[in-house]
Amino acid sequence: MVFSRDDHDRLHLFDRADRFLPHGWCLLPPLQSCDKRNACLTCAVFVTDNTHAQTLAQQLEETEALIQRTTAACLERHGRPMPDDNVWLAQRQAEREALQRLLAALNDKPGRACQGAGCPTTPTTGPVPITLQRPGTPR
C-alpha cells in the first residue's frame, strides 16, 4: 500500500481533529468541548482548503437563495420585511458572510489551507503588547 502526501496529512490531522466536516476540518482537541453547535464556519479552529471550495461555493449559493425565499415569504405573508434583528435572519447572514470570507481567503492564497477565516475578526497570534508601570507612578 502506498500513501500519498495528502493521506499522510489526513492521518496526522485525524490524530488532532475532533472530526472531519463536509467543508473542512475541526481542529478542536478531542478532550475539549465545543460550544458552537455546528456553527463551524465562524469558529477559529475550523480549517478548510481548496478541495472544499466547490462545496463552500454551493453552500453560499444555497444560503443566499434560502435568505431570499424566506424574506420574500415573510414580506408576502405579513406585508412588511423581516426585521434585521430577526434571530433566524441574523444567523443566516452570519453564515453567508463567513462563507464569503472563507472563499475570499482561499482565493487570496490558492493551494493553502486557512484556519479561522470565517470568523468576523481573524484571531491574532503572537505576543500582545502591554505597558507596565511601576506602582505609584502617574499614568
Averages of pLDDT over runs of 10 residues in the chain (139 residues) are: 54 57 80 75 87 94 97 95 92 92 91 84 52 62
- Is 20 within a domain? yes
- Is 27 within a domain? yes
User: Can you give the pLDDT at residue 6?
Assistant: 61
User: Can you give the pLDDT at residue 1?
Assistant: 46
User: Can you give the pLDDT at residue 3?
Assistant: 47
- Is 124 within a domain? no
Question: Domain limits at 98?
Answer: 10-115
> How far is the C-alpha of 69 from the C-alpha of 76, rounded, in Å?
10
> How far is the C-alpha of 118 from the C-alpha of 101, rounded, in Å?
5
Residue 26 grid cell = 475541526
* Bridge partner list, 7: none
- Is 139 within a domain? no
- Is 123 within a domain? no
- Is 58 within a domain? yes
Count of structural domains, the chain: 1
Closest CA to 102 of 91, 87, 89, 112: 112
Distances (CA, A) of 85 to 21, 101, 136: 29, 22, 47
- Is 28 within a domain? yes
- Is 84 within a domain? yes
Closest CA to 26 of 92, 120, 34: 34
Closest CA to 42 of 121, 112, 107: 121
User: Can you give the pLDDT at residue 133?
Assistant: 59
